[in-house]
Each structure stands twice: as C-alpha cells, then as structure tokens.
Structure 1
C-alpha cells in the first residue's frame, strides 16, 4: 500500500511538476511572513517596555521630588513652629516679670491713706487671659493690704461670670470652676496675696460680664466692708487701681 502511494505521488509530481515551484514559493512566503509578524510583535513589545520604563522613571523622579519637597516643608514648618514657641514663651516670661514687679512695687512703694468706706484691703490688679486650649482661661488677682501696721486681714473672695445660657440669665462661679472650695475662698492676708487659677467655660454659656466681690474686715475698727469691681467680658482683660 505504501509503495503504491509513493508511485501515485511520483506520478502526480511528473504530471504537475510546474506546481512545485509555486508550492515552494508559498511555503517560503508563509515562513517569511511569519518571521516578519514575529519581528513586528517583538518590536512593539520592546517599544512598549521602553515606554513603561520611561514612565516608571518619570514616576520615580516625581516621587523623589515630592519627598524632597515634603522634607523641606516639614523642616521649614518645624523651624517656624519652634520659633513661634520661643517667641510665645519669651512674651509670657516678660509678662510674668512685669506682673511680679508690679507686686513688689505695690508692697514697697504704694502708699495710700486708708479709706473707711472701702477698707484698707484693696484689689490692686486683676488679669485674665486665654489658656492653651479652646475655652480655657487663666486669671490672676492681686490683693493689697494698705495698712502696714496691721498684722493680717481676713477676707472672702468671689469671682462671678454673668451671662446667658439658652437666652436665660445665668451666673457662674469662676473659683468653683477653677477648683476652689468654700474654705479656699477664705483668705488670710499680710501685705499682699495673689489668687490664681484657670478654668473652662461651661458648654453653651455665653459670658457677658465678670464681677469680683471682696468682703473683708479691713474697715475702721475691724468692721466688714464689701468691695466690688466689674468689667465687660472679652476673654482677655486687665484692671489696675
């Protein structure tokens, strides 16, 4: 059977010999086209890889620039923040020095004749300023006993905030907010006494006025006198006598 097939094939080739070149040419063209298509595909893939490589380089360069910019801004911000903190601390130090100097001057240089109506114990100064957190405030009150011959005075101090909550008039005890109990509001004073503290405004409360009430036995003959001082609330005030 195999021999007969070979004979038939040889016979067919003899009869159609002119097709052999055409078949070989078709085979060569098919092989060449396949190679050309493969080369084109490889070239396209190579070009795509080059473009991806360039894109990756651009992304890396942009990221590096962004990181450098971030580090620069972080350093600049840290320097500015540190400078602001130093300036704030310097201002606080100068304010404290001024306040301490006022205390000394009040004790050693202030000479005021006793006034029977208001007594010899007076409110020399009151300072209010905003604290480090929102809604927090610090206060400092200086009381002076003008009678240098008196050993000590007894006093009761109250600091009230008047304002509104839900459109209703409300009075808030500042010393209570600052942690003072009833006993801490009773003072023994020789020459001078500073009362200091900090507090947070109650939620929903709108302050309008601040009132200082000082009740003491500094009147004539040790009688009780009441001294009041009132100022509009602005969150940062100072009164001096």
Structure 2
C-alpha cells in the first residue's frame, strides 16, 4: 500500500492537493446529500405526525361537542323531570284540597251521614275485553274511630243521552244477571262491583250513586260521578257531588 508521501512524490505536489480537494468535495457532497435525505425523511415524518395530531384534535373537538350536547340534553331532561314532579305534587295537593272541600260540603248537605261516618269513597269504571261491556267498582268506607257494622243497599243510575235526548237507566238492569239489590254489610270498607253492557247509541254523562243506610241508623247518602266515554275501549270517571 502506498503511503501519502509516496503518492505525493509520484503525483507531484499540485496533483496531490487537487486529488485531496476532490476527495474532500466528494465527502462534502455525500454529506450534504445524506443530510438532505435525512432532512426530507424527518420533514415527511413531522408532516405525518402533524396530520395525525390534526386528526386527533378534530376528533377531540367532535367528542367534546357531543359531550356538550349530551350534557345539555340531560340538563333539559332533569329540568323537565323536576317540573313534572312539581306539577304532580301540585296536582296531589289540589286533589287533597278538593277532597277536604268535598268532605266539608258533604257534612253540610248530609250531616246525619257524617255523624255515622259513612262515605262513598270512589267509583271506578273501566272497559272490559268484550266490546260494549264495562266493569264498575264502588268503594264505601266508614271513617268513625269506633267502627260498628254498617248495613244497607245501593242503587246506581246511569244518566246520559240517546240521539241527543236525556235518558236515565238503572245500572243493575244492564247487568246480565242483575241482583235484586246491591247490598252492603261492612265494618271498615266494602267494594261493590259488577259488569254491565252499555246500550248501543247511549252516551253516558254521569253516574248517580244513592246509598240507603239502615244500620247503625237510617240515613241516605248520594254522590254523582261524571263519566266521560273517551272511545269504545277506554273511559274514565271523575267524582263530583
């Protein structure tokens, strides 16, 4: 292998320095090229990372927006539920107030029954599975602290219209097997129930309940319920005296 001094002697000083400069330039050029390749690679990698960051940022914005929407919906639902609970509470308070007023007027209109503590608590009517048939449930209750036996019988009169003309029907006569009397005998409460068929073309409006109390002492109790027939399979009652 030739040494630098030998190469210098053979080529001469000028040629030796030219060759050395060429080698340096070649090394410099190779370094620049390698640096450019490395720079381009790093630039592309950075661009890919920036694109990934932008994508993640957009997805994060979408998720944040979605969470905000869900939060607003939950807040609206919470406020609506709170408003519904408030309305329900007001309705229950109103019902309690109406019951108190009802008891007050009942005491004025029928003081003898208030003394006995016998009341018509409620009347429910609902459609059965058979078309035109309905079930009724009449609740009688004794509210005295010292409760004795209460006896008597009840009659129910259905008031309504047929072709625009007023008509009254005995509810017991509309039952398939009508009892002779709708009697009651209880100490605390009793539910009188049965099934009846509404005549074709009859539009119910009210149902009047008349209770004849024979024990512990004679007296009468009347109460009228409004019955609104919503359609052929659903109806409701609302009590008024």
Please indicate, yes or no, whether the TM-score normalized by the shorter chain is above 0.5.
no
Higher relative contact order (CA 8 A, sep 6+): 1
Q: What band does the TM-score fall into relative to the shorter chain?
A: 0.3 to 0.5
